[in-house]
């Protein structure tokens, strides 16, 4: 390293996503939504969003239908456990291995 | 005047934490921190000592949090808040909120002196102790707030033999304008309490019960259930002390009406850290809980 | 305007002229009068600052670190065990590159308890990355405080202004109190490169990795090692900045001085006594006495101890027969830290030239033991006659 482009002389961090890398790679099981059971999907209006509230990683969108950012979802399963209608199932990532390759 | 209760649908959608943090899968702190920052809002300066939050917030040069934050030494959290406040005062800034977030070790053990000093001086900031009941960031050692009976890395076979230190009571004894006990399992209660205390004078203290999958020994998916069980068993109470007036809140307040606690055994049996607690010990703790709640019932009659 | 006040008042008056915005302090003898005076100035309104009465020295520096990070000019002062209790924060302030100015009113450290003067406290903080300046009289205390703010803010490195407890802090001497306008002309308001604020959020002093890492702009950011290297590099560059500081100070106040050293009768001397602080002024009396006996001896005060002005010192001691270092502190298990530093500088610049002076080391005044001038004179005379010992020799020891 011949030249320095260091902005400052201190540990001065600026914010951005994915400090921990693509944390989706930590996931063992993937949350899969059943739109026939999901309350906002069924009513087609803003409702419930318990999965959004309790998601520790902020990867579930507050939308109809709710979507999961799989790049960062760690697969904790809190959304599945807290869903009042059991609309979310945690599915083994191995099942998606082929699908993801495509 | 009672403020309107926030619901999931009325909770602001703006986020102050980026996804892809280094926090463990199913981290309870991530939930409380996310919602806490929503309540604090963009005009906030944070202070964080070494803790799980240091890791969650990111490694140089990337920060996971969108708010300005000063990382400080372990014992100096509250004093650093005083320093930021002093500068804001010198600059004539009366609008920016100063908030410190420290773990239970950083609060109940090494940070207690500085916290007590700042509270006694009446410095106007909000102090959050997120209590995952141990030194989780260093690999689950006992802290002052680890409960009796919990196995940790340095109480490996017998579990902790001493009682949990009651930090909110210590802080209430400083005659603060606001002391609150919250839980990551009740994020809206936390949110509303932060909004409520913001304009009160002096130091405000929040204690937040934080389920921790690796530290407590449970499948990450059950984190909210376990946090809720702590409240429904009457083991951990949600409350606030406003200018000296104690009041149960949210689910704990409802328990007074219901007069039916879930047996505490269910809470202990949900986590592997309590595996050495005997039935006799559990019965003993159950009696302490029942006595405490008898007091609450009497007060409400 | 010339006034007569004690050394702590000189420090407090100097601080007031620098208009700090935040002052935090915890009482410890003999520092207390500095901070009491500052609390008076704040309460009476002659200084517009936030005065924070903290619950410990650790918190005193914590307040200064946080306040400085948010953009305020700050001040604190301490002594002895108070400084030791701060130690973690002392290191932190340097690594965070905060221009904090702290007076260290030198006092012995425990155990056993001792409240009297020596310099073990500040010397033990030598390797923390702070600039250390030592004062020998009240005018120097006041001037050094003012200079320290300019230099600290110029190089973004904190500074300890060290002066001897009681001998300077509690004795009265006349000194010139400059007009506020002159200090304002010398020292502009603090304008940090970055101050923590919600409009421009940053996360400061985050965990930093052993190696470099790409930032959010896609550019390479340094690792911990680069941050620490830059501190060392800037400390070495601070020597040149100190020379600029003296030039500017002389231009405004008309008082000139060498930025690093304070020699007395050294030019034609064969033997030079070296020390830090007020002891070097006492040694002037011994030098005068020995000069009357025909011994060509001088004394040199080291005003700027960290970064160490190695080249200036080596040049000043070139051609001398012996350098006799008097110290009120010790690197226990070896010798006085200043003696070691001097040897290292002399070896570097004069090694192989055939004019390497011998170095002798005397330890005096530990824990406030009275230093009799006659003892100093006798010791210095003996040291000019032959090398007294390889080991440091304790003066006035009563074993």
CB atoms C216 and A7 under 8 Å: no
Confirm or reject contact between C212 and chain A (CB < 8 A): yes
Contact partners for chain B, using 3 or more CB pairs closer than 8 A, are A, C
Residue A98 Cα distances to A3, B39, B117, B182, B238, angstroms: 45, 43, 59, 44, 47
Question: Is the pLDDT at C232 greater than 60, yes or no?
Answer: yes
C288 and C173 together in one domain: no
B85 Cβ contact partners less than 8 Å away, ≥ 6 residues apart? B98, B123, B124, B125
> Residue range B255-276: average pLDDT?
97
Alpha-carbon separation of residue B290 from B145, B146, B180, B238, B262 (angstroms): 21, 21, 22, 16, 11
Asked if C335 contacts C361 with a C-beta cutoff of 8 angstroms, the reply is yes
Tell whether B7 lies on the interface with A, counting CB pairs under 8 A. no
Give me chain B's average pLDDT, please: 97
The pair of structure tokens assigned to C12 is 């407090």
Where is average pLDDT lowest: A42-51, A89-98, B207-216? A89-98
Distance CA A29, CA C332 (A): 60
CATH of the domain at B194: 3.40.50.970
| Beta carbons within 8 Å of B11's beta carbon, 6+ residues apart | A53, B35, B38, B188, B191
The shortest CB-CB distance from A49 to any of B8, B17, B22 is to B8
Contacts of B86 in chain C (CB under 8 A): 21-22, 24, 50, 52, 63, 67, 72
Q: What are φ and ψ of residue C120, in 5° steps?
A: -60, -30
Return the CA Rg of chain A. 18
> C35 is written with which tokens?
């901070």
Element (H, E) at B68: none
Cβ B57 vs Cβ B18: under 8 Å: no
The single residue listed with the structure tokens 């961090």 is: A13
- Please compute the mean of the pLDDT values over residues C374-397 and round it to a whole number: 95
| Structure token pair of residue C272 | 């030079």
The residue among C278, C250, C246, C281 whose CA lies nearest residue C260 is C246
Which pLDDT score is estimated for B301?
86
pLDDT tens digit sequence for A22-69:
999 999 999 999 999 999 999 999 999 999 999 999 999 999 999 999
Q: Is the pLDDT of residue B222 over 60?
A: yes
Quick: pLDDT tens for C288-329.
Answer: 999 999 999 999 999 999 999 999 999 999 999 999 999 999
Find, among B112, B138, B115, B117, the residue nearest to B52 by Cα: B138
B225 belongs to a structural domain: yes
Q: Name the residue among B17, B213, B222 with its Cβ closest to that of A58.
A: B17
What's the CA gap between B47 and A13, in Å, rounded? 14
Which domain-ending residue is among C186, C207, C231?
A: C186
What CATH number is given to the structural domain containing C43?
3.40.50.970
The reply to whether C200 falls in a domain is no
> In this complex, is the C-beta atom of A47 within 8 Å of any C-beta atom belonging to chain B?
yes
Query: Is there a domain that residue B281 lies in?
Result: yes
Q: What are the C-alpha distances in Å from A41 to residues A51, A63, A68, A69?
A: 13, 9, 15, 18
Do residues C168 and C303 both lie within one domain? no
Is residue B116 less than 8 Å (CB to CB) from chain C? yes
Q: Is A3's pLDDT higher than 80?
A: no
C32 in contact with B, Cβ within 8 Å: no
Q: Quick check: is B21 in a domain?
A: no
Please tell me which of the candidates A13, A54, A76 has its beta carbon nearest to residue B62. A13
Residue B96 placed within a domain? yes
Q: Which domain holds residue C108?
A: 2-186
Domain count, chain C: 2
Question: Is B113 exposed, middle or buried, given 0-12, 13-18 or 19+ CB atoms closer than 10 A?
Answer: middle
Residue C136 lies in a domain: yes
C113 vs C368: CA distance, rounded Å: 12
Residue C31 is predicted with a pLDDT of 98
- Residue A99: which pLDDT band, with cuts at 50, 70 and 90? confident
- In this predicted structure, what is the pLDDT of residue C159? 98
Strand duo C74-78 + C101-106: pairing = parallel
**Residue C116 tokens, joined:** 């009297």
ipTM: 0.97
Domain that holds residue B225: 28-300
Average pLDDT over residues B239-245: 98
Residue B272 belongs to a domain: yes
Judged against a pLDDT cut of 70, whether residue C364 lies above it is answered with yes
Give, for C326, the enclosing helix (H) or strand (E).
strand C322-327
Residue A2 pLDDT > 60: no
CA distance A14 to chain C (A): 5
Looking at chain B, list the stretches that DSSP marks H as alpha helix, in order from N- to C-terminal side. 28-40, 52-56, 77-90, 104, 112-121, 167-172, 187-197, 213-216, 223-232, 250-258, 264-268, 279-300
CATH of the domain at C337: 3.40.50.920
What's the rounded Cα separation, in Å, for the pair C204 and A12? 5
Report how far residue C384's alpha carbon sits from residue C382's, in angstroms, rounded to the nearest whole number: 5
Question: Number of folded domains in chain B?
Answer: 1
Q: Single out the residue in C165, C186, C207 at which a domain terminates.
A: C186
Within 8 A of C204 by CB-CB distance, chain B residues are 69-71
Q: Per the CB < 8 Å rule, is C202 touching A1?
A: no
Residue A66 distance to chain C (closest CA, Å): 28
Lowest mean pLDDT among C30-44, C147-161, C217-231, C258-272: C217-231
B262 contacts chain A (CB < 8 A): no
Chain C adjacent subunits, 3+ CB pairs under 8 A: A, B
- Residues B67 and B37: their CA atoms lie apart, in Å, by 9
Q: A14–B62: do the CB atoms touch at under 8 Å? A: yes
Judge whether A70 is closer than 8 Å to chain B, CB to CB: no
Q: What is the reported pLDDT for B140?
A: 97
Residues forming beta bridges with residue C214, ordered by sequence position? C220
Give backbone dihedrals phi and psi of A91, rounded to 5 degrees, phi first.
Answer: -115, 135
Give the tokens for residue C145: 């405080």
User: What is the C-alpha to C-alpha distance for residues C272 and C325, in angstroms, rounded to an integer?
Assistant: 8
CB atoms within 10 A of CB C101: 31
CA atoms within 13 A on the CB side of B4: 5
- Does residue C227 form part of some domain? no
Task: Write out the DSSP string of C262-284.
Answer: EEES-TT-SEEEEESTTHHHHHH
Antiparallel, parallel or unpaired: β C322-327 and C271-275: parallel
What DSSP character marks residue C175? E
Among the listed residues C48, C395, C345, C7, the one whose alpha carbon sits nearest the alpha carbon of residue C169:
C7
E strands, chain A, are 12-15, 29-33, 88-92
Number of helices (H), then strands (E), belonging to chain A: the values are: 4, 3
CA distance C34 to B36: 41
B42 Cβ under 8 Å from any chain C Cβ: yes
Please, what is the average pLDDT of chain C?
Answer: 97
**C260-277: average pLDDT:** 98
CA distance C86 to chain B (A): 11
Q: Which residue of C has its CA nearest to A12?
A: C204
- Chosen for mutation from C25, C55, C216, C223 (greatest number of chain B CBs closer than 10 Å) is C55
Same-domain status, C171 and C266:
no
**C124 & C265 share domain:** no
User: Measured between CB atoms, which of C63, C88, C204 is closest to B86?
Assistant: C63
C149 and C270 in a single domain? The answer is: no
Please say which residue of C186, C217, C239 terminates a domain: C186
Beta partners for residue B209, in sequence order: B131, B183
The pLDDT value given to residue A1: 38
Average pLDDT over residues C98-121: 98
Interface test with B, best of A57, A72, A73, A82 (most B CBs within 10 A): A57
pLDDT tens, B1-23? 567 899 999 999 999 999 999 99
**Neighbours of A (≥3 Cβ pairs closer than 8 A)?**
B, C
**B148-189 residue pLDDT tens:** 999 999 999 999 999 999 999 999 999 999 999 999 999 999
Structure confidence at residue C248 (pLDDT): 98
A6 pLDDT higher than 90:
no
Rounded to whole angstroms, the maximal C-alpha distance in chain B is: 59
Alpha-helical (H) ranges within chain C are: 7-17, 32-44, 57-69, 80-95, 120-123, 138-155, 180-186, 224-253, 279-292, 310-316, 337-350, 373-385
Q: Sign (positive/negative) of CA torsion C163, C167, C170, C171?
A: negative
CA distance C69 to A79: 40
- Alpha-carbon gap, residue C265 to C286, rounded angstroms: 12
Confidence check: pLDDT of C12 > 50: yes
- Same domain for C177 and C33: yes
A15 inside 8 A of chain C by CB: yes
pLDDT tens-digit map of C180-231: 999 999 999 999 999 999 999 999 999 999 999 999 999 899 999 999 999 9
Percent of chain B scoring above 70 in pLDDT = 99
Q: What are phi and psi of B142, to 5 degrees?
A: -65, 145
| Domain assignment present for B16 | no
Residue of B nearest to C213 (CA): B61
C203 vs B contacts (CB less than 8 Å): 57-58, 63, 65, 68-69, 71
pLDDT at position A98 is 74
Partner-chain residue, chosen from B35, B66, B219, that has the shortest CB–CB distance to A15:
B66
For residue C21, is it within any domain? yes
B–C interface: beta-carbon pairs under 8 A:
164
Which candidate in C65, C93, C154, C215 is best for mutational testing of the A interface (most A CBs within 10 A)?
C215
Nearest Cβ partner for B25 among A15, A46, A74: A74
Residues B132, C182: Cα–Cα separation, whole Å: 56
The shortest C-alpha distance from B85 to chain A (Å) reads 21
Phi, psi of C32 (to 5 degrees): -45, -45
For residues C153 and C296, state if they share a domain.
no
Angle at CA B133, nearest 5°, toward B128 and B138? 95
Q: How far apart are alpha carbons B143 and B164 in whole angstroms?
A: 9
C123 and C272 housed in the same domain: no
**pLDDT at residue A102 above 70?**
no
CA dist C41 → B116, C37, C146, C242 (Å): 27, 6, 17, 29
Is B15 inside any structural domain? no
Residue A5: pLDDT over 70: no
- Whether C290 is in a domain gets the answer yes
pTM for this predicted structure: 0.97
């Amino acid at each position: 390293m011949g030249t320095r482009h260091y902005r400052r002389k201190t540990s001065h961090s600026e914010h951005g996503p994915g400090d921990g890398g693509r944390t989706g790679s930590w996931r063992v099981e993937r949350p899969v939504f059943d739109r026939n059971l999901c309350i906002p999907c069924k009513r087609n209006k803003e409702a419930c969003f318990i999965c959004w509230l309790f998601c520790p990683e902020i990867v579930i969108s507050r939308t109809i239908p709710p979507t999961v950012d799989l790049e960062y979802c760690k697969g904790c399963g809190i959304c599945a456990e807290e869903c009042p209608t059991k609309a979310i199932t945690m599915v083994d990532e191995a099942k998606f291995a082929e699908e993801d390759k495509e | 005047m009672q403020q309107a209760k926030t619901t999931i649908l009325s909770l602001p959608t703006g986020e102050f934490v980026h996804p892809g943090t280094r926090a463990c899968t199913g981290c309870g702190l991530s939930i409380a921190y996310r919602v806490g920052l929503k309540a604090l809002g963009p005009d906030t300066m944070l202070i964080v000592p070494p803790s799980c939050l240091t890791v969650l917030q990111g490694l140089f040069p990337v920060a996971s949090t969108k708010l300005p934050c000063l990382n400080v030494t372990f014992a100096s959290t509250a004093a650093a808040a005083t320093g930021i406040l002093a500068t804001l005062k010198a600059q004539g800034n009366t609008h920016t909120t100063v908030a410190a977030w420290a773990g239970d070790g950083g609060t109940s053990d090494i940070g207690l002196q500085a916290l007590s000093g700042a509270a006694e001086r009446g410095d106007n900031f909000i102090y959050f102790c997120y209590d995952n009941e141990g030194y989780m960031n260093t690999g689950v050692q006992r802290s002052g707030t680890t409960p009796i009976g919990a196995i940790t890395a340095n109480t490996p076979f017998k579990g902790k033999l001493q009682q949990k230190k009651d930090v909110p009571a210590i802080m209430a004894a400083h005659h603060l304008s606001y002391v609150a006990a919250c839980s990551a399992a009740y994020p809206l209660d936390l949110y509303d309490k932060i909004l409520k205390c913001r304009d009160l004078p002096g130091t405000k203290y929040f204690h937040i019960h934080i389920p921790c999958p690796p530290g407590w020994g449970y499948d990450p998916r059950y984190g909210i259930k376990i946090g809720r069980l702590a409240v429904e068993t009457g083991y951990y109470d949600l409350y606030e002390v406003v200018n000296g007036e104690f009041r149960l809140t949210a689910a704990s307040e409802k328990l007074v009406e219901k007069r039916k606690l879930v047996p505490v055994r269910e809470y202990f049996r949900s986590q592997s850290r309590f595996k050495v607690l005997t039935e006799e010990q559990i019965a003993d703790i159950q009696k302490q809980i029942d006595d405490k709640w008898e007091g609450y019932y009497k007060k409400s009659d | 305007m010339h006034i007569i006040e004690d050394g702590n008042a000189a420090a407090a008056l100097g601080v007031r002229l620098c208009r700090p915005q935040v002052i935090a302090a915890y009482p410890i003898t003999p520092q207390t009068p500095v901070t009491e005076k500052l609390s008076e100035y704040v309460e009476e309104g002659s200084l517009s600052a936030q005065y924070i009465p903290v619950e410990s020295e650790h918190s005193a520096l914590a307040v200064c670190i946080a306040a400085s990070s948010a953009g305020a000019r700050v001040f604190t002062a301490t002594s002895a065990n108070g400084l030791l209790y701060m130690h973690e924060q002392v290191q932190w302030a340097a690594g965070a590159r905060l221009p904090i100015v702290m007076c260290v009113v030198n006092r012995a450290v425990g155990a056993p308890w001792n409240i009297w003067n020596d310099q073990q406290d500040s010397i033990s903080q030598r390797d923390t990355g702070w600039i250390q300046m030592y004062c020998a009289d009240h005018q120097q205390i006041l001037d050094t405080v003012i200079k320290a703010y300019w230099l600290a803010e110029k190089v973004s490195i904190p500074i300890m202004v060290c002066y001897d407890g009681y001998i300077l802090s509690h004795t009265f001497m006349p000194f010139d109190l400059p007009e506020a306008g002159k200090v304002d002309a010398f020292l502009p308001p603090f304008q940090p490169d970055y101050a923590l604020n919600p409009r421009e959020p940053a996360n400061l002093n985050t965990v930093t990795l052993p190696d470099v890492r790409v930032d959010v702009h896609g550019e390479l950011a340094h690792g911990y090692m680069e941050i620490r290297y830059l501190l060392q590099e800037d400390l070495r560059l601070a020597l040149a900045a100190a020379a600029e500081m003296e030039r500017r100070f002389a231009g405004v106040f008309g008082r000139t001085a060498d930025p690093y050293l304070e020699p007395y009768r050294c030019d034609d001397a064969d033997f030079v006594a070296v020390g830090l602080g007020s002891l070097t002024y006492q040694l002037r009396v011994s030098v005068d006495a020995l000069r009357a006996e025909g011994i060509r001896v001088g004394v040199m005060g080291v005003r700027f101890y960290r970064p160490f002005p190695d080249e200036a010192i080596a040049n000043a001691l070139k051609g001398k027969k012996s350098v006799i270092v008097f110290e009120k502190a010790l690197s226990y298990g070896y010798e006085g830290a200043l003696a070691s530093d001097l040897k290292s500088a002399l070896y570097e610049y004069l090694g192989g030239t055939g004019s390497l002076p011998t170095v002798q080391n005397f330890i005096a005044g530990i824990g406030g033991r009275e230093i009799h001038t006659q003892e100093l004179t006798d010791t210095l005379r003996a040291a000019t006659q032959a090398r007294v010992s390889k080991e440091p020799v304790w003066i006035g020891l009563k074993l």
